[in-house]
Structure 1
Amino acid sequence: MRSGIHPTSRPVVFRDRAAGAHFLTSSTATASKTIQWADGNTYPLIDVEVSSASHPVYTGAARVVDTAGRVERFQRRYGRPVSSRS
């Protein structure tokens, strides 16, 4: 790897505003705000709209599509196709 072209990675706190969750992870993102973490250190703070704490897929609030029910409803409405082969 060439030196001097890659951004430096450092600990950053991501705060999910919707769920009120905080995540300390490594990132290259820059931030203007800081927060004091439970270990006593101060880290850059980045606010995010959606994270695994508030996303419907991860929280189980996502709507599951019932494909079997749709097929059965279609067959009830329009009937089963008749085979033309004898």
Structure 2
Amino acid sequence: MKEGIHPNYREVCFVDLSNGFKFVTRSCAQTKETVKMDDGRELPLFKLETTSESHPFYTGTQKSVDSLGGRVEKFRNKFARVGIKK
């Protein structure tokens, strides 16, 4: 492999801010904070707004937005009162 072209991967702790879920993986993400893990290691901390633990798609709580019909049906409902004047 070529020298100097690969990122410097290291273990990083990612934390979900919505529910506090933590996981450790190798990453080259730049961080300013660190966290002390349960096993005594001190790892860089990267805060996330949502992860697979809190995202509605992965948790099964996602709602269907298009449950009331398609675009054409919404248009017809919106302009049903206007109609054509004779």
TM-score calculated relative to the size of structure 1: 0.71
Higher helix share: 1
Matched residues in 1 for 2:19 and 2:2: separation?
Answer: 40
Query: 1:28 maps to what in 2?
Result: 28
**How far has the Cα of 1:8 moved from its partner?**
1.0
Query: 1:83 maps to what in 2?
Result: none
Query: 2:7 maps to what in 1?
Result: 7
Unaligned runs of 5+ in 2: 74-86
1:21 maps to amino acid: F
Residue-pair matches, total:
71
Query: 2:49 maps to what in 1?
Result: 49
Matched residues in 2 for 1:24 and 1:56: separation?
Answer: 22
Unaligned runs of 5+ in 1: 75-86
**How far has the Cα of 1:65 moved from its partner?**
7.3
Matched residues in 2 for 1:37 and 1:30: separation?
Answer: 19
SS at the partner of 1:46? strand
Q: Which structure 1 residue ranges, 4+ long, deviate > 6 Å from structure 2? A: none
Matched residues in 1 for 2:60 and 2:41: separation?
Answer: 34
TM-score calculated relative to the size of structure 2: 0.71
Matched residues in 2 for 1:4 and 1:66: separation?
Answer: 50
SS at the partner of 2:12? strand
SS at the partner of 2:23? strand
